[in-house]
Structure 1
């Protein structure tokens, strides 16, 4: 025991030891500040979450579209296999004619929708 210190007290730290403790404390404080800043940046976190949700939705939509296209192609092939050749030929000619007269087909479709809407409305109103 030295005569400079009362019993039970720690020896005084050296300047080198104090510098090391300050350096460690600064590093810890820096990490803590960065973590708090990241948590406080709500806008960035919300944007990141929105990007994740958007990517997941796009992936799901893409997968769903692929499944629908596959089922539609399968149904088309099944229908073509069951359709007699003369009927298929007439359907192909009708599709080609519809392609050539697209405006006429659109006008007819709109007219059909209007007629159905009028009939539906009159039935719904009890023929009034």
Structure 2
């Protein structure tokens, strides 16, 4: 190497050297962080768990939507194929059940201790909040009973 062919890049200034050192420190810091992240098994497990949890929640939401849609279709088919007299009797029975439940609820409210009334109120609130799934389940049970009954009459 000869000293006659040196340029300014070959003779860096102290400021250039500081910048190079700072740049090298930054790169080294990022490399250390990357290595530390690869070595942190606990954090990786948490990330994987969160990802699986998210996927499961998305799949559950999709399945719930599909079940609700199917239940609505079954309920509509059941209603379409049920004779009007049966629908009227069902409506009358439902009205009687509601009336009886209201009377029983009032009686229970009058006779039950306060902690029990609070628990019952919480249960009623939860049932109201989940009305659609409860109705869908009821429709599915009714459909299953009608199918079972119609199959037993065919034999």
TM range (shorter): 0.5 to 0.7
Structure 1 segments unaligned to the other structure (5+ residues): 1-7, 102-128
Aligned positions, number? 96
Unaligned runs of 5+ in 2: 102-155
What residue in structure 1 maps to residue 49 of structure 2?
50
2:60 maps to what in 1?
61
- 1:25 offset after TM fit, Å? 2.3
Cα deviation code 1:6-39 (max 9, x no counterpart): xx26778567254444333222211111111111
- 1:20-99 alignment runs, 5 A limit: 20-94=19-93
Mapped partners of 1:20, 1:13: distance in 2: 14
Give, in whole Å, the separation in 2 of the partners of 1:14 and 1:55. Answer: 53
* Distance across 2 between alignment mates of 1:52 and 1:98: 46
Q: Given the two structures, how large is their TM-score scaled by the length of structure 2? A: 0.50
> Matches of 2:38 and 2:2 in 1, distance apart?
41
Whole-angstrom distance in 1 between the partners of 2:77 and 2:19: 79
RCO (CA 8 Å, sep 6+): is it higher in 1 or 2?
2
CA-atom RMSD, angstroms? 2.9
Q: Which has the higher helix share?
A: 2
Paired with 1:76 and 1:20, the residues of 2 have a C-alpha distance of: 73
Deviation at 1:89, TM superposition (A): 2.5
Please say which structure displays the higher CA radius of gyration: 1
Once the two structures are TM-superposed, the CA of residue 91 in structure 1 deviates from its matched residue by 3.3
Moved over 3 A (4+): 9-15, 17-21, 91-101
